[in-house]
Amino acid sequence: MLKRISEFGIGLVFGLGLIISGMTDPGKVLGFLDLAGPWDPSLALVMGGAIVVGVFGFTLASRRRTSVLGDPMQMPTARQIDRRLVLGSLAFGIGWGIAGFCPGPAVVSLGTGEPKAVVFVLAMLAGMGIFEWLERRKKVPPGKA
């Protein structure tokens, strides 16, 4: 139960941070990405703050074997930049630039009833479903599908 309360609290703080920083407004995000128009640098400050917090968080986490709630600490182990990472990053960036949303702010905006967020989240879920379906098909031996 404590774990679920902690998860809810962390999600709530994250969502409130996105709202307060304006990252749930696609116009603000698109203003940052539009270098040819009236550029809005505020997203760079939000990203910089997230990087600083992340560096301290990952440094602390890398020194621990278990989380504060006692679960095993699972740090990322992959270090290579491969084709899938590059293509996934490009797809993410293009989608972010078109919609002005990434998954976290879209889910927060969904909670406020933002129509664009509804469309984005449905498209995101469809994309995730297609990816999972394609990954499962790769694992099925030829002729068994």
Token couple for 43: 């997203």
Structural domain count of the chain: 1
Dihedral of CA atoms 30, 36, 41, 46 in degrees, nearest 10, equals 40
- The pLDDT-based confidence of 82 (bands split at 50, 70, 90) is very high
70: which DSSP letter? S
Residue 33's pLDDT is: 87
71 is in which domain, residue-wise?
2-139
Residue-wise pLDDT for 56-74, tens only, equals 999 999 899 998 888 898 8
Cβ contact 36:126 at 8 Å: no
Residue 72 identity: P
Helix (H, G, I), strand (E, B) or coil at 72: strand
Cβ contact 2:69 at 8 Å: yes
Instruction: Look at residue 144 and tell me if it is in a domain.
Output: no
**Residue that the structure tokens 């182990």 belong to:** 77
* 15: number of Cβ within 10 Å: 17
Instruction: Look at residue 101 and tell me if it is in a domain.
Output: yes
- The pLDDT-based confidence of 9 (bands split at 50, 70, 90) is very high
Cβ contact 76:97 at 8 Å: no
Helix (H, G, I), strand (E, B) or coil at 66: strand
Instruction: Look at residue 145 and tell me if it is in a domain.
Output: no
Residue-wise pLDDT for 86-127, tens only, equals 999 999 989 888 899 989 999 999 988 889 999 999 999 999
pTM of the model: 0.75
Strand partners, 130: none
Instruction: Look at residue 16 and tell me if it is in a domain.
Output: yes
Instruction: Look at residue 17 and tell me if it is in a domain.
Output: yes
Instruction: Look at residue 96 and tell me if it is in a domain.
Output: yes
The share of the chain scoring above pLDDT 70, in percent, equals 97
104 alpha carbon, distance to own chain's centre: 5
Residue 68's pLDDT is: 83
